[in-house]
Amino acid sequence: DGGITQSPKYLFRKEGQNVTLSCEQNLNHDAMYWYRQDPGQGLRLIYYSQIVNDFQKGDIAEGYSVSREKKESFPLTVTSAQKNPTAFYLCASSRQVNQPQHFGDGTRLSIL
């Protein structure tokens, strides 16, 4: 089945630790995105990538990093510089930018 797979579903981070969230898609989409959702709020864009080996900062990129070495993969690293990382993280993809975005099931990150 074609789709977007995020792993893990739940992730716990210790203070001062970097963690990486995985996002893989087999839809052959060029564009991929990372969003953060806090309780009771809408989604906010962290980073997006229009094509392999290219990515751009979104509205809340500080404390996060990404890479796009393969078309199907767009991992997000939450660094120790992100002081309030507890949130629900959603990955999305679209055929190209300005096309409908489709979402994975998300990863819930918590601080121990």
- Tell whether residue 100 is a contact of another protein (CB under 8 A): yes
**Interface residue with another protein, options 43, 52, 60, 61 (CB under 8 A):** 43
For the bound state, the minimum distance from the C-beta of residue 42 to another protein, rounded and expressed in Å, comes to: 3
Q: How far is the CB of 104 from another protein (least distance, A)?
A: 9
Of residues 45 through 74, those in contact with another protein by CB under 8 A are: 45, 48, 50, 56, 58-59
**Residue 24 is encoded by which pair of tokens?**
């893989």
